[in-house]
Chains A and B, each alone.
Chain A
């Protein structure tokens, strides 16, 4: 794998796609346990509907899972490079 550069497009997929799927699961589990209306018992200054909170929750989960996927991709590539020092990524 390391003797071939990985196209940017595939790297984007490797980061954004699995994190998207796990973010959906995380959002589903989280919001079936917690009602956004009860998450902020003293109210917030922001007037956001439940749909809005779900959306923001999903995007935050996606961000977190994407960061984790970037880490995995980075370590996978750099470990590969260490094991095959003569090959070059990019």
Chain B
């Protein structure tokens, strides 16, 4: 651990080599001490809220189907009243881009709040830590238990903890699969021991990942596996909200009696109780400045505020602040970086919302017959042959009316009398277009196929194609 800078600034003091050393150092188990306070309550709120949504949402029904179901076996995604097909992949890609940009925007503004309150890794680790504390007790009791040789009591406690972890993980894995295959049916088959081999595979796979990441890996996932933790500093500037120790107020640190005046002893407000280190889930000392391991969970703020209260000092020795504020400069909330992120985000979100709102649940694909350019009929008309593919993406079956325009007097001929397509089905059939040679201006003319549902005029789509002729 490095000593605080003499100038009292909170700049990162670890050099690149030190970071590298830490990245490749042997991992010691971290026993985060339980913490109470405002931010701990906020995190419990976040954890219960998000886990509640995760475990509850698949059971919600909507319009006679599961409200959120990425139905992989049936190749369609239900998100409440929207149904997306593989053709709508672009929407999912857009959603991912929006999620990514939102993360950038939030990071620039308020730092790593995602890490501390909402990241699945944090959320499940908190749940696992809670189980661990219920079974093994406080930080000290856990450390004692781990240090003692194996005996019946230790075995019983450890077995209980792992049993609870495994049950919780298995339920997590089951819920995960419930997002991809209808969960009610899945539940019935689970009770009857009739799960398919692939479903069992994914329950175990996801359950094992939860058990491993939240039970064993914990902060190592943040330190070694998380890409966001590696590049989040690129979104930071001197006005980004960070968690920092105020060295100017705290140093020189040292223990003292509650009754003594720190000024008389020449001490700052930090009593060097190391509680901020004990509560840290990534095992760092926040007093060494901003560090890449810090997931901004603010456990150290709660712990320190508590101590400051007991000492009768002002709270906020460790606090949410900005680099500019620490250095006594003016803080800016609105700055070019934030404005640019916000503008890009708003633009993409508007385009997304507009295209979802105006999306037609109907697809039409026109494929020209590749074998012949055109042929002349016995009546002397020029004929082109096409294959039409109609995809009904609506939730109900529809009958459609097909017409064509673009060339005067063009005739549409098809063996298919009624174009009726079931929900989610594709219909493929050939059509022939005939036109008089005198009506053709060029070798290749534009024709437009129009398709409209007879019972729902808003379900209409147009598709262009080329009509080839001799001149």
Contacts and interface: CB of A to CB of B under 8 A. Distances in A.
A4 B201 contact: no
Interface string B193-213: 000111101100000000000
A54 B72 contact: yes
A49 to B, nearest CB: 7
Given A4-B20, A32-B86, A51-B196, A17 B73 contact: no
A84 interface: no
Contact of B89 (A17, A29, A50): A29
B225 A32 contact: no
Contact of B198 (A10, A31, A51): A51
Interface in A39-67: 49-52, 54-55
A7 B225 contact: no
Contact of A10 (B24, B73, B199, B202): B24
Contacts of A31: 86
Contacts of A50: 72-73, 75
B21 interface: yes
Interface string A12-32: 010001000000000011011
B24 A49 contact: no
B111 to A, nearest CB: 24
B224 interface: yes
B125 interface: no
B428 to A, nearest CB: 12
A4 B24 contact: yes
Nearest to B201: A55
B36 interface: no
Interface in B180-231: 180-181, 196-199, 201-202, 224-225
A6 B25 CA distance: 9
B73 A51 contact: yes
A33 B86 contact: yes
Interface residues of B, number: 21
A89 B441 CA distance: 74
A47 to B, nearest CB: 12
Contacts of B26: 7
A69 B241 CA distance: 36
A49 B196 contact: yes
A4 B198 contact: no
Contact of A13 (B89, B181, B201, B224): B224
A5 B199 CA distance: 40
A55 B73 contact: no
A35 B86 contact: yes
A32 to B, nearest CB: 4
Interface string B1-35: 00000000000000000001101101000000000
A13 B75 CA distance: 32
Most chain B CB within 10 A, of A10, A28, A32, A54, is at A32
A49 B225 contact: no
A31 B202 CA distance: 18
Contacts of A1: 20
Contacts of B23: 10
Contacts of B198: 49, 51-52, 54-55
Contacts of A10: 23-24, 224
Contacts of A17: 225
A49 B73 CA distance: 8
B89 A6 contact: no
B90 to A, nearest CB: 10
A13 B73 contact: no
Interface in B44-101: 72-73, 75, 86, 89, 92
Contacts of A4: 20-21, 24
Contacts of B24: 4-7, 10
Contacts of A35: 75, 86
Interface in B419-458: none
Given A1-B20, A51-B196, A51-B199, A13 B225 contact: yes
A54 to B, nearest CB: 6
Nearest to B85: A32
A11 to B, nearest CB: 11
Nearest to B87: A32
Contacts of B75: 35, 50
Given A50-B73, A51-B196, A51-B199, 9 more contacts: A4-B21, A5-B24, A28-B89, A49-B198, A50-B75, A52-B196, A52-B197, A52-B198, A54-B198
Nearest 5 CB-CB pairings of A with B:
A32-B89, A32-B86, A51-B198, A4-B24, A52-B198
19 contacts: A4-B24, A6-B24, A10-B224, A13-B225, A17-B225, A29-B89, A31-B86, A32-B89, A33-B89, A35-B75, A35-B86, A49-B196, A49-B198, A50-B73, A51-B181, A52-B196, A52-B198, A54-B72, A55-B201
